[in-house]
Structure 1
Amino acid sequence: MSAKHSTAFPLRRYGFIAGAATLLVVLVAWVAVRAVGPVSQDNRTPLMMQPTIPVGDTSFAPSPSASPSPSLSPSRSPSPRSSPSPSRSRSASASASASVSVSASDSASPKPTPARTTSTPVPASLSARYQVGAGWDRGFVGWVQITNTGQTAATWTVKISYPSRAGVRITNVWNAQRDGSSFTGGPLAPGASASFGFEATKQVRDKISPTACTINGAPCRMS
Structure 2
Amino acid sequence: MSLGASWEQGYVAAVRVQNTGNAAGSWNVTVGHSGQSNLRLLGTWNARGSQSGDTLTFTGGQLAPGASATFGYQVSKSGRGNARPSGCSVVGGKCAVS
TM-score by length of 2: 0.79
* Aligned position for 2:39: 168
For residues 168-216 of structure 1, the C-alpha deviation after alignment (integer angstroms, 9 at most, x for no partner) is: 2111011111222211102011111111111111235654432231111
Deviation of 1:162 (Å): 0.6
**CA distance 1:218–1:148, change in 2 (3 Å):** closer
Cα deviation, residue 164, structure 1: 2.8
- Pairing 1:178–2:49 present: yes
1:138 Cα offset (Å) = 2.4
Matched with 2:65 is 190
Q: Distance in 1 between matches of 2:71 and 2:33?
A: 18
Paired residues of 1:166 and 1:208 also in contact (CA < 8 A):
no
Letter in 2 for 1:170: L
Higher strand share: 2
Q: Distance in 2 between matches of 1:211 and 1:138?
A: 15
Could you tell me which amino acid in structure 2 is paired with residue 189 of structure 1?
A
- Correspondence 1:220 to 2:91: no
Task: Give the whole-Å Cα distance in 1 for the aligned partners of 2:65 and 2:80.
Answer: 40
Of the structure 1 ranges 161-170 and 199-208, higher mean CA displacement relative to structure 2 is found in 199-208
* Equivalent residues of 1:173, 1:199 under 8 A apart: yes
List aligned pairs for 1:42-57, cutoff 5 A: none
The RMSD of aligned alpha carbons is 2.1
RCO higher in 1 or 2 (8 Å CA, sep ≥ 6)? 2
> AA paired with 1:185?
G
**Which structure 1 residue ranges, 4+ long, deviate > 3 Å from structure 2?**
204-209
Counterpart-to-counterpart distance in 1, 2:48 and 2:24: 18
Structure 1 residues 146 and 190: CA distance shift in structure 2, 3 A: same
TM-score by length of 1: 0.38
Q: 1:217 to 1:149 in 2, by over 3 A?
A: closer
Q: Does 2:29 align with 1:131?
A: no
Match of 1:113 in 2: none
**Structure that is richer in helix per residue:** 1
Q: Distance in 1 between matches of 2:33 and 2:18?
A: 23
Contact 1:137 1:204 in 2 (8 A): no
- Tell me how far apart the structure 1 counterparts of residues 35 and 82 of structure 2 sit (CA, whole Å): 14
Provide the aligned length of Structure 1 versus Structure 2: 94
CA distance in 2, matches of 1:155, 1:161: 20
CA distance in 2, matches of 1:205, 1:146: 31
Q: Which stretch of structure 1 is more off in the superposition, 193-202 or 205-214?
A: 205-214
Q: Where does the alignment leave 5 or more consecutive residues of structure 1 unmatched?
A: 1-129
| Residue equivalent to 1:18 | none
Distance in 2, Cα, partners of 1:218 & 1:133: 23
